[in-house]
């Protein structure tokens, strides 16, 4: 069975003094690239809602450009509650090679050359308590990946965000659920991986491709 390698990071919170920052992101991506990932996934909160300025947003756009143009890797991402809460998103540029949901609902994202289907949702308000993830499609085949900025059952955060349950995520049949929102690295389920990479961690995983 063929597999796909993913490099996954989350919750960069550009602008927050204690956040890992651009240098961490570039160095960690450089390390991950040595293992030849097929795609990079970022699970939301690129900027910090309280601290980010337009300069931080521009840094975030530069990071996405670095991934797609210099590292030549496609990027799949969703927006998190901090991105929305910053009020800066209307200024974020479009760029080729960056894939994210366009609307407010669950969307299927396919990336040319990457044999996966991503089921992804943008956070659209802060907080975003919508009971939306109940509608994530259930699949029987390999190669489906969830990309979600969610609290799941809320035990690791007090900020409501796209609630769901581990049992429900497991029942979808995905090869991995890559989460943002919780800043500690937490593995809710080891195989298939369901969890938060956490702030300042680069997660490298390999998943079975679409048949």
Q: Which residues bind Mn ion (CB under 5 A)?
A: 11, 45
Nearer to Mn ion by Cβ, of 52 and 142: the residue is 52
Distance separating alpha carbons of residues 5 and 100, to the nearest angstrom: 19
Least CB distance from residue 45 to Mn ion, whole Å? 4
Least CB distance from residue 180 to Mn ion, whole Å? 6
Nearer to Mn ion by Cβ, of 4 and 203: the residue is 203
What strands, in cross-sheet order, belong to the sheet with 3-9? 98-99, 75-77, 39-42, 3-9, 203-208
Least CB distance from residue 96 to Mn ion, whole Å? 27
Least CB distance from residue 121 to Mn ion, whole Å? 15
Distance separating alpha carbons of residues 29 and 7, to the nearest angstrom: 8
| Nearest residue relative to Mn ion (C-beta) | 45
Nearer to Mn ion by Cβ, of 78 and 194: the residue is 78
Distance separating alpha carbons of residues 124 and 80, to the nearest angstrom: 8
Nearer to Mn ion by Cβ, of 4 and 121: the residue is 121
- CA torsion sign, 35 to 66 to 94 to 88? positive
């Amino acid at each position: 069975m063929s597999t796909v390698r993913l490099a996954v990071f989350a919750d960069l919170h550009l602008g927050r003094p204690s956040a890992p920052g651009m240098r961490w992101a570039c160095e960690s991506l450089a390390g991950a690239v040595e293992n030849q990932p097929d795609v990079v996934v970022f699970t939301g909160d690129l900027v910090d809602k309280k601290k980010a300025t337009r300069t931080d947003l521009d840094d975030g756009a530069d990071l996405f450009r670095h991934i797609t143009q210099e590292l030549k890797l496609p990027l799949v991402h969703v927006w998190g509650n901090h991105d929305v809460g910053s009020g800066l998103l209307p200024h974020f540029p479009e760029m080729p090679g960056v894939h994210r949901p366009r609307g407010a609902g669950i969307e299927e994202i396919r990336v040319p050359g990457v044999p996966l289907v991503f089921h992804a949702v943008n956070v659209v308000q802060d907080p975003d308590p919508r009971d939306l993830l109940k509608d994530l499609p259930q699949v029987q085949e390999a190669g489906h990946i969830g990309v979600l900025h969610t609290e799941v059952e809320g035990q690791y955060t007090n900020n409501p965000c796209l609630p769901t349950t581990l049992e429900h995520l497991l029942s979808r049949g995905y090869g991995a659920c890559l989460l943002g929102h919780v800043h500690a690295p937490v593995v809710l389920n080891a195989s298939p991986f369901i969890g938060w990479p956490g702030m300042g961690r680069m997660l490298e995983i390999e998943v079975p491709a679409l048949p």
